[in-house]
A and B are shown apart, each in its own frame.
Chain A
Amino acid sequence: MTNTIDTSIYAAVTEAIQGEVRRILSEGSVSAVVGYAAARRKGSAQPIVITDAARAEELVFSAACVNNLAVYLTKAKKEIPKTGKIGIVVKGCDLKALVGLMGESQLKREDLYLIGVPCAGVLASTAQPSQELTGDTIAPKCRECDARLPAGCDFVPDQRPVSIELAGKYSAEIARLEAMTPAERWAYWKEQFKKCIKCYACRQVCPFCFCEQCLCDRNKPQMVETTPRPAGNTAWHIVRAMHLAGRCAGCAECERVCPMDIPLNLLNRKMAKELKELYDYEAGFEVREKGPLAMYDEKDDQSFIK
């Protein structure tokens, strides 16, 4: 195929990660490392936590390393950060989630050792893990990536990804929806939302869904119907998008894990776009104490208020 993406650096990246992890674990500067290891299915990878330098060689990086490992360091998974300084392998998109979590006082920079990955892209959820990375098999988020080289990490392998030009899918789809009439958009989302089975995989995988009790699980009063039916589903998706507005890192994990193929990231990215336009705010680039919806400016636009 002509649109093959060069992932030849991943072998050297793997080796560099292994060497660095061996070093930090044996000298004891971190107590554990969250990274990727080969999984059972050919070519696939899965998250792994290692505490023993001898196991560093199990770590890999490949186009199948799709997970955002930041979710393992949130409050919801308390055991891991408690053990001491943690090393974590991060792609640029995943780093944005960590940056957001630091801003929300969920993590402290000094408790982390960041191993950044120079990234040429990962596979879409529809691709097989052993498939070659091409313009057709690459994850949609990678088409619009602005973080191939994570900034501000403690260690980044020397390799540089060859950048490729691919047309953005999310931006095109958002523009397509924006051009519709409200009724057409409602019809589109109704079809999407009614597929939802309320499995909450999107919530479980999201680094920012760390509330100990989710509003959507409360029943006194019940604000969002819990049923996997159209009314409750629509409310769930609107609440979810609203709670992530200005916070979502765009890692697209929610969309990847959705078993019903609901394009969740269209909502998140639309909100990111709006908040950029309204308040010139982009999530994930620097640790900031407050997101756009947790602060205000007296001069904020109020043209919509009479």
Chain B
Amino acid sequence: MHHKEKHAFEPKIIAFVCTWCTYAGADLAGTSRMQYPANVRVLKFPCTGRIDPVFILKAFQQGADGVLVSGCHPGDCHYIAGNFHARRRFAAFRKLLEFVGVDLGRLQFSWVSAAEGGKWVEMVTDLTERVRGMGPMREFKELGLEEQWSGAIDTPELREAYDSI
């Protein structure tokens, strides 16, 4: 039983990619008939600079078990500096997610060029396998299931105020 359940888990991986490099790289992997896990859903963006951290949050909330963000190598950005800006934003965002308790193993950033079909396959395979080992991302899903406001009005100040009435 337990054994079966374990194998029933297929991680959902959301990949946010830029159209100029990584998307073309993924396309190359496809047209070259390279095999990679079917767990990844690709979302194409004009640039990594357009990938707002809130998208990653939303992906986790909507059921992603892992997220891949990938764009052009430094120096190759179609818009010159979009990926440099993204790099800083994501460096900061990782720290924030870590501080609120998200295991960063579920989030991978990479640079994959239009010629790197093989690297795309490697990135997707690695993340999928890692997340498979980690199991489902429960945290955000559980929050979503908590339909009622918990109403945890139990601060010491309020307690004292209530008690004094």
Which of B81, B87, B90, B139 is in CB contact (< 8 Å) with A186? Answer: B139
Which of A183, A223, A227 is in CB contact (< 8 Å) with B58? Answer: A223
Asked if B87 contacts A271 (CB within 8 A), the reply is: no
Which residue of B is nearest A277, CB measured? B95
Asked if A185 contacts B99 (CB within 8 A), the reply is: yes
Asked if A306 contacts B88 (CB within 8 A), the reply is: no
How would you classify the secondary structure of chain A's contact residues: helix, strand, loop or mixed?
Answer: helix
Contact of A241 with B by CB under 8 A: yes
Asked if A260 contacts B155 (CB within 8 A), the reply is: yes
Asked if B101 contacts A302 (CB within 8 A), the reply is: no
Set of chain B residues within 8 Å of A235, measured between Cβ atoms? 54, 57-58, 61
Asked if A229 contacts B101 (CB within 8 A), the reply is: no
Known: A296-B85, A305-B87. A182 touches B103 (CB 8 A): yes
**A277-306 contacts to B (CB < 8 Å):** 278-279, 292-298, 300-302, 304-306
Asked if B87 contacts A278 (CB within 8 A), the reply is: no
Contact of A200 with B by CB under 8 A: no
20 A–B contacts from the bound complex (CB under 8 Å)? A182-B102, A184-B101, A185-B100, A194-B152, A195-B150, A223-B52, A229-B148, A231-B144, A237-B100, A238-B96, A241-B96, A267-B100, A295-B88, A298-B74, A300-B87, A300-B91, A301-B91, A302-B74, A302-B87, A304-B94
Q: How far is the CA of A184 from the CA of B91 in the complex (A)?
A: 22
Set of chain A residues within 8 Å of B91, measured between Cβ atoms? 278, 300-301, 304
**A136-190 contacts to B (CB < 8 Å):** 177-178, 180, 182-190
Asked if A305 contacts B140 (CB within 8 A), the reply is: no
With both chains docked as a complex, state the minimum distance between the C-beta of A203 and any C-beta of chain B, in angstroms. 16
| A190-208 to B contact mask, C-beta < 8 Å, 1/0 | 1100110100000000000
Asked if A188 contacts B146 (CB within 8 A), the reply is: no
Interface size, chain B (Cβ < 8 Å): 46
Asked if A271 contacts B155 (CB within 8 A), the reply is: no
Set of chain B residues within 8 Å of A75, measured between Cβ atoms? none
The 8 closest A-B pairs by CB, nearest first: A186-B101, A185-B101, A296-B84, A231-B143, A230-B143, A274-B95, A305-B109, A306-B110
Asked if A229 contacts B147 (CB within 8 A), the reply is: yes
Q: How far is the CA of A302 from the CA of B88 in the complex (A)?
A: 9
Known: A183-B101, A296-B81. A230 touches B146 (CB 8 A): yes
Contact of A12 with B by CB under 8 A: no
Asked if B99 contacts A270 (CB within 8 A), the reply is: yes
| B84-120 to A contact mask, C-beta < 8 Å, 1/0 | 1101111111111111111100001111000000000
**A201-249 contacts to B (CB < 8 Å):** 215, 223-224, 227-231, 234-235, 237-239, 241-242, 245-246
Contact of A261 with B by CB under 8 A: yes
| B34-62 to A contact mask, C-beta < 8 Å, 1/0 | 00000000000000000011100110010
